């Protein structure tokens, strides 16, 4: 397959988007709610909260389960993340107009943090209660982390490659970065990309609570996650899935596709610092941001908006704030996790879509619960009410356990 040289890098555009979140079952509803300053974080009413006496009892659960759009057979044969990927893929593919493309020029790149953990738990329960003959023969395909990407690849007949980044909380953003490179270098004409993640359950809550990474403001769900705020005490789990269709600008123009935005470049770095802790000086984050800007052919002064990873943890937010202040100190910053929670492998893709909406509409939603600056680093965090101003270029940052750093450079349509 012919790959373009650096001097022949192709422009990459977004021709369709789809998402489901704790605020709405679609991207438009989510976006409107975010601009209005609404929150999707609420008290959890699941039985497991009481059964295990969990110290954290809040989260951003989806407004609609993906199973509502699938047949019973599809529900039985797919893990939760695969169900989510299939539903969103069908939506985004139809939204793109179900384009006619050579399968050998069509690829998929979908990330997830944990894969089909629910299927693994179910298989183990079956094994313990009924023996090995009660374990589904589909257990392995349902559990494997590449399952969502593989299922979507089969759904649309992609033959230019199926990619499945598992880079913790940077997975969705890294999937978009790989999609951008595939198209920009000429390896594909269209890529379905994004991220999905499993639902809120007792085990991840317990694990992160023991790490003291979660907010324990159970009596104030809306005010629990406080990105960049002096009184932040941890993140809040959220559920989400987000996919988009990327195309070469030439291919999209030839078929008359609507353009929602542009992916201009990507930067991927690693901290080499700690398995869970981020480099406190923000070096890896800053290098990813600079790499994305350079790949886009821009300068730091061109970046007007940064969609921050900002989870609401004390060290993580300070680290990212230092990187933003060092690279793009003038940019208007938005942190969506205050309203949506942290959806791990899906969040990088979701927040890239939110950044594209901000550029398209010239609107930056307010960061919820930002009341007192911590005083360590001064950055322009949009809060209180949405800010309206013309926007052309922005960055979307995503960072994950293990020291994964991804920054996407984005442009308006």
Q: What is the pLDDT of residues 212-239, one digit of tens each?
A: 999 999 999 999 999 999 999 999 999 9
CA distance 305 to 364: 8
**Predicted model pTM:** 0.97
**DSSP per-residue string spanning 293-326:** HHHTT--GGG--EEE----S-HHHHHHHHHHHHH
Active site residues: 169, 309, 342
Up-side HSE of residue 175: CA atoms within 13 Å toward CB? 41
Task: Kindly state the average pLDDT of the residues 64-84.
Answer: 96
Write the burial class of residue 78 (CB in 10 Å: 0-12 exposed, 13-18 middle, 19+ buried). buried
Computed on alpha carbons and rounded to an integer, the radius of gyration of the chain in Å comes to 20
What are 210's two structure tokens?
Answer: 């023991």
pLDDT at 7: 54
What are 44's two structure tokens?
Answer: 């959890």
Comparing CA positions, the residue from 90, 69, 330, 59 lying closest to residue 208 is: 59
Per-residue pLDDT reduced to its tens digit, 124-139: 999 999 999 999 999 9
For residue 2, what is the enclosing H or E element?
none
Ordered by where they begin, the domains of the chain are 12-411 (3.40.47.10)
CA distance 201 to 181: 35
Comparing CA positions, the residue from 123, 110, 122, 221 lying closest to residue 171 is: 110
Which residues face 400 on adjacent strands? 404
Residue 50 contacts by C-beta under 8 Å, 6 or more apart in sequence?
Answer: none
Contact by Cβ (8 Å): 375, 230: yes
Residue 204 has pLDDT above 60, yes or no: yes
Q: How many CB atoms lie within 10 A of CB 100?
A: 6
Residue whose structure tokens are 């000429």 = 186
pLDDT at 374: 86
Helices (H), 67-133: 72-77, 80-95, 117-130
What are 54's two structure tokens?
Answer: 């969990």
Per-residue pLDDT reduced to its tens digit, 13-59: 999 999 999 999 999 999 999 999 999 999 999 999 999 999 999 99
Per-residue pLDDT reduced to its tens digit, 29-42: 999 999 999 999 99
Contact by Cβ (8 Å): 92, 245: yes
Contact by Cβ (8 Å): 178, 222: no
Residue 3 has pLDDT above 60, yes or no: no
């Amino acid at each position: 397959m012919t790959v373009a040289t650096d001097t022949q890098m192709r422009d990459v555009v977004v021709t369709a988007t789809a998402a489901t979140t704790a605020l709405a079952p679609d991207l438009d509803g989510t976006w409107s709610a975010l601009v209005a300053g609404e929150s999707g974080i609420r008290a959890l009413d699941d039985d497991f909260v009481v059964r295990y006496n969990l110290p954290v009892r809040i989260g951003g659960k989806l407004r609609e389960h993906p199973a509502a759009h699938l047949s019973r057979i599809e529900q039985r044969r797919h893990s939760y993340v695969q169900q989510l990927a299939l539903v969103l893929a069908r939506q985004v593919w139809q939204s793109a107009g179900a384009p006619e493309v050579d399968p050998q020029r069509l690829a998929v790149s979908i990330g997830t943090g944990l894969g089909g953990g629910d299927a693994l738990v179910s298989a183990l329960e079956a094994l313990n209660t009924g023996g090995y003959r009660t374990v589904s023969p589909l257990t392995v395909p349902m559990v494997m982390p590449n399952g969502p990407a593989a299922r979507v690849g089969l759904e649309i007949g992609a033959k230019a490659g199926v990619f499945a980044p598992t880079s913790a909380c940077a997975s969705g953003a890294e999937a978009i970065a790989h999609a951008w490179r595939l198209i920009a270098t000429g390896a594909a004409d269209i890529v379905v990309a994004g991220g999905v993640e499993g639902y809120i359950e007792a085990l991840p809550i317990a694990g992160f609570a023991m790490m003291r990474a979660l907010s324990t403001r159970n009596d104030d769900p809306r005010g629990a996650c406080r990105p960049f705020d002096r009184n932040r005490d941890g993140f809040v789990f959220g559920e989400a899935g987000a996919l988009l269709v990327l195309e070469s600008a030439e291919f999209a123009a030839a078929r008359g596709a609507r353009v929602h935005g542009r992916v201009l470049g990507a930067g991927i770095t690693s901290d080499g610092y700690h398995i869970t802790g981020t480099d406190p000086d923000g070096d890896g984050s800053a290098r990813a941001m600079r790499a994305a800007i350079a790949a886009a052919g821009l300068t730091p002064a061109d970046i007007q908006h940064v969609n921050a990873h900002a989870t609401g943890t004390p060290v993580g937010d300070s680290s990212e704030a230092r990187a933003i202040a060092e690279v793009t100190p003038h940019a208007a910053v938005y942190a969506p996790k205050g309203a949506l929670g942290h959806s791990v492998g899906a969040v990088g893709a979701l927040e890239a879509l939110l950044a594209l909406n901000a550029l398209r509409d010239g609107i930056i939603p307010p960061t919820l619960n930002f009341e007192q600056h911590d005083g360590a680093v001064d950055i322009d965090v949009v809060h209180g009410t949405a800010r309206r101003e013309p926007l052309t270029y922005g960055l979307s940052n995503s960072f994950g356990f293990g020291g994964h750093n991804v920054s996407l450079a984005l442009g308006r349509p």
